[in-house]
Structure 1
Amino acid sequence: MGFALSLFFETTQITGIYGIYNCPYRIFDVDDLILNSTGALFGFIIAPVILALFPSRDKLIAKANKLKESSLVPPLSQLLAVIIDYFLIKISWSLTFGLFTSSEFAEIVYKTICFFILFLVVPLIWDGKTIGTNILRFKLIHVDGGAPPWQSLLKRSIALYLPLATSWILNIFDSIELDMNSILYPYHVWTTMAIFGFLVIMWAVLFIHTAVILIKRGKRNFYFDYVADLVPRKK
């Protein structure tokens, strides 16, 4: 649809508004057609990520009722638990492999493995608790009141991992040095700009989302718990 709309405008310009104006003063620009279609594609990709952060009213009411049945955990405690878990991963890298290598790729692989171990495997075998949630004295349960299944923990892990992975990918592209005369240089520039734009939008939405959750004082779930159908509950 984005391509068709852009093609409609470009065709309108070159035909002099389909013959109504006999002297067309604009041209058919293929670059405009490509850029407009690419913009529609990026919007199509980014939209589901943003929509996942803002649930529908019906789902919000249903999950709010579930939250009322359990002890609410302050949103600041939930954030601190995630931060503690992530810093444990960073510290473990600095005290182990980080002492012997400065490879960004090795660091990303190590942190990715540790991330899914800490946010997926550990709560799966530890009754919905990570090290961070245990320190702050709460755990994760499924909205039906049972233990969190691996599918929910996997969704939560991916939701938490996406912002970090996007930042790491951008750093990798920034570190690539290409000659301006290289045939790949324009693709490198556009890819880097697209990732950067996505990252800016994502972090801006995450900041607004976090601010709303803090204002609501735990009456709404963070997006990573919402998409996974999980509820934080005091032990």
Structure 2
Amino acid sequence: MVTMRLCVFGANGPTGRLVTGQALGEGHHVTAFTRHPDEFPIEHPRLVVAAGDVADQDAVTDAVAGQDAVLSVLGVPYSKDPITVYSVGAEHVTAAMHRTGVERLVAVTSSAVEPNPNRIGGFLFERVLQPYVVNRLGKTLYDDMRRCEAIIRASGLDWTLVRPSGLFAAAEVSRYSVVPGHGVGRFTARIDLADCLLRELGENGHHRQAVAVLTTEGSPSLASMMWREAVGSKH
């Protein structure tokens, strides 16, 4: 892949730190956008840590200016209160990209915004656990992700939406799968998600498509994944 200048929104989350580290390891220049720059654990000559909030249009525009591409891995916990981080972030990031002439955007949402119409998890998963997470526990979050996707689709930019399933930690990148639309599986390792985001920036990226990224090796149990979902993990 050609060396690029990348801006990562949500850089201080679990996936954001992984994709920042992987990008630096591949020779890219990275601007890590975070509300808590003092807590960012990575230091590197090719890294700029930009303090800011995606609700601040000027800060977002400053971070995007001069980049070759933008990666959005924004994430917040579940809440019963209305969530707007994803949609506001999408509005401000896409506006900043238009203002500064940056065209390539790869953004993370979730497979839960459009559940697989095919049965892949058995009765307990399909009829009890998944509906509870999508329609009750995470309703405000997934509603905002849908608004985010709509904004990005209508932006006119060169976008890709990456939809992981139940996120878990793994030590190294696996032979994960990436398919347009829906895939077969319930889990995604964060390190695989981070790798996928960088691969989507290459020549074989899925332009103006939503893709599912799924880990097929070393996945956790359904029970442990649902527990983490209930607690509310961020990207």
Which one has a larger percent helix, Structure 1 or Structure 2?
A: 1
Structure with greater contact order relative to length (CA < 8 Å, sep ≥ 6):
1
Scaled by the length of structure 1, what TM-score is found? 0.22
Which one has a larger percent strand, Structure 1 or Structure 2?
A: 2
Scaled by the length of structure 2, what TM-score is found? 0.22
Q: Which of 1 and 2 has greater Rg? A: 1
